[in-house]
Amino acid sequence: MPKQGDHRERRDSIARALWTIVEQQGWVRATMREVAREAGVSLGQVQHYFSSRAEMLTFAIEFAAEQTSRRVAQGVAALDQPPHPREVLRVILTEFLPLQPGARATSQMNAAYVLEALHDPALRQQVADGLREGRAGVERLIRAAINDGQISPNRDPAIETDQILALTGFAPLLELGVLAPQAALAAIDQHLDRLFSDT
């Protein structure tokens, strides 16, 4: 039996096993039984931590969101301080898109989660709240940049925020290899250049 202190670690390792399955075999294969096999534990142990597949998926997506936030925070900490808002937005977009290994499973899980959420009111609320929070963060950043004269006051902060969010639409194109990572980065850089140069 695991010690009480191992609880969080065990849950995290189950979440990682789930990611591996999502990345290698796809979302529909991510059953509790498959996750137990991948994590090297019994089905009963998975059920000890999660009472249902939905609960396991919810935890895994929250864990993925935490990982993404941590990668964004690390990326921002690595910038010249204080960081320029253009570079902060670039870090957010590049960490959200499947441009690097860690982001690929996260990106697929987000897409799968959105689909699942459309038909599950509780999940839907959770996903929508998370997206609204992310959107609000980007809008605060853009409003601050307008106040600081880094973005033209003629720009509408809400519309600019939505156009930044639209760039996450590259995710499926990148995953399917229809768009090369450098093409996505070029489009992102040009969008940001225009946003910040038109002052």
Are 140 and 160 a contacting pair, CB within 8 Å? Answer: no
135 belongs to the binding site for its own copies (CB under 8 A):
yes
- Residues 136-195, interacting with its own copies (CB under 8 A): 156, 158-159, 162-163, 165-173, 175-179, 183-184, 186-187, 190-191, 194
> Which span (2-10, 73-81, 83-91, 121-129) binds its own copies, by CB under 8 A?
121-129
C-alpha 38/C-alpha 86 separation (Å) is 40
Cis omega (within 30 of 0) on the bond before 181?
no
Q: Which is nearer to its own copies, 144 or 183 (CB)?
A: 183
Owner of token pair 């919810």:
58
**Burial (0-12, 13-18, 19+ Cβ within 10 Å), 83:** middle
55 belongs to the binding site for its own copies (CB under 8 A):
no
Owner of token pair 């189950």:
14
Site residues, its own copies (CB under 8 A): 24-29, 108, 111-112, 114-119, 124, 127-128, 131-132, 135, 156, 158-159, 162-163, 165-173, 175-179, 183-184, 186-187, 190-191, 194
